[in-house]
Each structure stands twice: as structure tokens, then as C-alpha cells.
Amino acid sequence: TVTRLLDQMERRQGKLPVIEEALLVIDEHCDIASRRVYDQDNKGWKAVSNAIKGRLVADDDQYTLGVCLLSQRSPEQACHIYILPASDAGDFFFMRSDHYPFAP
């Protein structure tokens, strides 16, 4: 699915930008019974980093791509995926700080 979305973006907008140092944030919203992305027995989130490797980031190693897995209990099932320059991480989390249970 991620690859298809990237293909569609590329057809519409042309070549995708490559981010030198990126942050991948996967934010899963679900209840315990429906969790899929962050469940420790199911490492499905790695498919996202594999899909963007060579397209949005040169590699998915720890020096090129930081990974942040977030989860919120919710009756609605959703998974939000963000890919941004690592230098924007502070702004990203500041703008969303009231959305997570660990926020002050």
C-alpha cells in the first residue's frame, strides 16, 4: 500500500524528494484486540521503512532514518504515517504534544 501511494505521488508530482536525514513516525490508533502495527509479535511497521528506502531516504539504517512508533488506545482503527526531515522533529512533536498520554 505504501509503495502504491508513493507511485501515485510520483506520477502526479514527478520525482520524489530524497531526505538526507529523516524521521519516520508511525502513529497507530486502535484497541488491544485490533492492534497490528506496533504489536511486538508483528513487526509490520518495517514494511514502511523498506518501502521508502531508496525513494525518500537513501537507506533505512539508523544514521539515515530514525523511527518512532507511537500508539494510542482508540475505538477507531487508524494508522498515521509521517516522514519528515529529522531537523523538523522538535516542531512535529511540539505541535502534537497534547495528543499523547505522556504529554505534560
C-alpha of 66 from chain center: 10
pLDDT of 47-102, one tens digit each?
899 999 999 999 988 899 999 988 888 888 888 999 999 999 999 998 887 765 55
Q: What is the pLDDT of residue 104?
A: 45
> Is residue 44 very low, low, confident or very high in pLDDT (cuts 50, 70, 90)?
confident
**Helix, strand, coil % in the chain, rounded to nearest 5:** 35, 25, 40
> Is residue 17 very low, low, confident or very high in pLDDT (cuts 50, 70, 90)?
very high
Long-range contacts of 96-100 (CB under 8 A, 24+ apart): 99/72, 100/70, 100/72
Query: Grid coordinates 504489536 are at which residue?
Result: 39
| Residue 27 pLDDT exceeds 50 | yes
Q: Where are the beta strands (DSSP E) in the chain?
A: 22-30, 65-73, 78-85
